[in-house]
Chain A
Amino acid sequence: MSVKVEVIEGGVPHNNILIAGLVGTLVCIYLTYLNVLTGTELFSFFGGLAVVAALVWGSHTIKVLCSYGIGTGVPSAGMIAFGSGVIAMLLATRFGIMAPVVALVLAAVIGFILGYVSNNILNMKIPAMVQALTEMAIVGALTLMGFAALITGGFTFAGLTSGSISVMGMILPSYQASFIGGGLIAVAFLLGAIAIQHPFNATLGPGWKQDRMLMLTAECGFLSMIVAAVMSFALISAVAALISLVVAIFGWIYTYQQYMEMSKRDAAAWLDAKPIPDVEAH
């Protein structure tokens, strides 16, 4: 049903968010390449920042799409974003340094065709559908690539499929201790899929405010980054993983505080409820 129930009033136009999100994500993913140039793993945390940038863009795309009553619930948009994104991302990792750009192009092609399929074959006839599904496939692919860079320190197929374990002082190659072989990609998949669909689902309604939703997205992104940073202890050096964890925790605390401020600002009234009070002891 192509009934637009809400319009974007005020706030930053969608195209600005699109461009900022795209550029920010690509730059942050490429900054993790400093790992290769400097021979360390200290720059992995940029992958997490790429995740946050992509998610902020993606959640606004979901808002644009779901303003039309699509009748399937907001979470389905997050699911198709990552379902099509993971496919593009896995193939793109084969292209070495070009991987993020290939992921972008490939995801755009997949998303465009899926948009055509749902708009024309399935007769959805929603004006924003093709563009939104294209954007969301890109967001899904780049988010997963950001998680991959955060957890493994790189985004190439060889780096994602092979790791090493040390047995009694000897370093042995292992394909189970890797991003794909160890199944960490499944965790990254759902961390991203939940983080992208939750913000609009949680803030939609008559009191929707753009900055509050985007701040919630950043908060969800940093929360996912904390989990991913903990997982990265298995695959990259402890110092690099610690840097990611500290960045994620500080980012989460800041965005959470900001989000609470905005929630109080937009609320009609605010009662600072306390936990269940202690009953007087006798």
Chain B
Amino acid sequence: MSAVAAKPAAGGAMNPTAMAVGIVMLIIILGICYVVSPGIGLMALIGVVVGGVLIGFGTHFVPVGGAPAAMGQAPGIATGVAMLAAGAGLAGLFGGAWAAEQGLVVAVVTGGVGGGLMMAITCMMVNFVYVFGMGIPSASGKVAKDPITGDTQAEFKSQGTEGHGLPFISFVGGVIGGTLGGAGGTLIYIQLLSLYEEMLPGMMQITEAQVMPIAVSAAGMFAVGLFLVNAVLTAYNITGTIEGPHDPKFKRWPRAIVASAVASALCGLVAVLIVVPM
């Protein structure tokens, strides 16, 4: 197959059979978890799946430009999907981890605010660099008018590019994506942390105070691992660049939801199994 004749395989098409297989896999994994650890283990796994889906869905909002954006030829932040998702999610995760003792809702909201804040700062500084450093206006190449402000885009778009800079809709998308990603990452961490705090003392025959460093570190590592898996799978779904919620590629999100749910359930099951008595 030559490079010219090859069609881009990862188009917008859905694969219904594979989606059904994915959902069946998800149910089987939840069933296994119900058998080995009903109650607290299953609750933790459901939290992990919800968190993973939030990450996978949220990443679609983030304006990712990649190398073309660095050259001012495409809108978005000039790096890859995996890096941006990991950055937003981990910033949120660290924010949420501080609030872990104040309950689930406070911690998850804190994580969301942390992730959103990180993306807002990133988007603002990126636009500073684009506008004042590279001297290019912000213009989208995918839509004629900005869906929120109604500003027309075509006059500002340079010929031969797909748009450039970070239009307002992309900025808003970035903040929404960071918020969802940060909340999802924190949810995974909190669920695993409460599971480990409950189960590890009995398993290792030590007190609750002694188990804290291990529980925090293990839950953190599992959260980071799950985050990276979800971020990369979403990156595979997007294949390259996306402008934000107005981009046609955004319509691919159902695939990412199923993929994230299956991957999170699988990895979450392994994370639950580590504390199941053998």
Instruction: Mark A residues whose CB is within 8 Å of B.
Output: 1-5, 70-73, 75-77, 79-80, 82-88, 90-91, 94, 106, 110, 113-114, 116-118, 120-126, 158, 161, 175-176, 178, 180-183, 185-186, 189
Q: Enumerate chain B residues within 8 angstroms of A4, measured Cβ to Cβ.
A: 1
Contacts between the two chains (Cβ within 8 Å), count: 176
Q: What is the predominant secondary structure among interface residues of chain B facing chain A?
A: helix
Within 8 A of A (CB), among B231-269: 231-233, 235-240, 255-256, 258-259, 262-263, 266-267
Q: Enumerate chain A residues within 8 angstroms of B273, measured Cβ to Cβ.
A: 91
Which residue of B86, B210, B237, B274 contacts A79 across the interface (Cβ within 8 Å)? B86
Cβ of B86 and Cβ of A180 under 8 Å apart?
A: no
Is B114 part of the binding interface, using a Cβ–Cβ cutoff of 8 Å?
A: no
Instruction: Mark B residues whose CB is within 8 Å of A.
Output: 1, 3, 6, 8-11, 13-15, 17-19, 21-22, 25, 66, 80-83, 86, 204, 206, 210-211, 213-214, 217-218, 220-222, 224-229, 231-233, 235-240, 255-256, 258-259, 262-263, 266-267, 270-271, 273-274, 278
Cβ of A114 and Cβ of B221 under 8 Å apart?
A: no
Complex CA–CA separation, A114 to B274 (angstroms): 20
A161 and B214 in contact, given A121-B19, A122-B255, A123-B11 (Cβ under 8 angstroms) = yes
Cβ of A79 and Cβ of B228 under 8 Å apart?
A: yes
CB nearest to B266 among chain A residues = A113
A90 and B217 in contact, given A83-B229, A123-B13 (Cβ under 8 angstroms) = no
Q: What is the predominant secondary structure among interface residues of chain A facing chain B?
A: helix
Complex CA–CA separation, A3 to B255 (angstroms): 22
A120 and B225 in contact, given A70-B236, A181-B214 (Cβ under 8 angstroms) = no
CB nearest to A129 among chain B residues = B236
Cβ of A106 and Cβ of B270 under 8 Å apart?
A: yes
Which residue of A76, A121, A180 contacts B22 across the interface (Cβ within 8 Å)? A121
Q: Enumerate chain A residues within 8 angstroms of B211, measured Cβ to Cβ.
A: 175
Cβ of B225 and Cβ of A83 under 8 Å apart?
A: yes
Extra contacts besides A1-B8, A124-B9 (8): CB < 8 Å: A71-B10, A72-B81, A76-B231, A87-B225, A90-B222, A122-B255, A185-B217, A186-B221
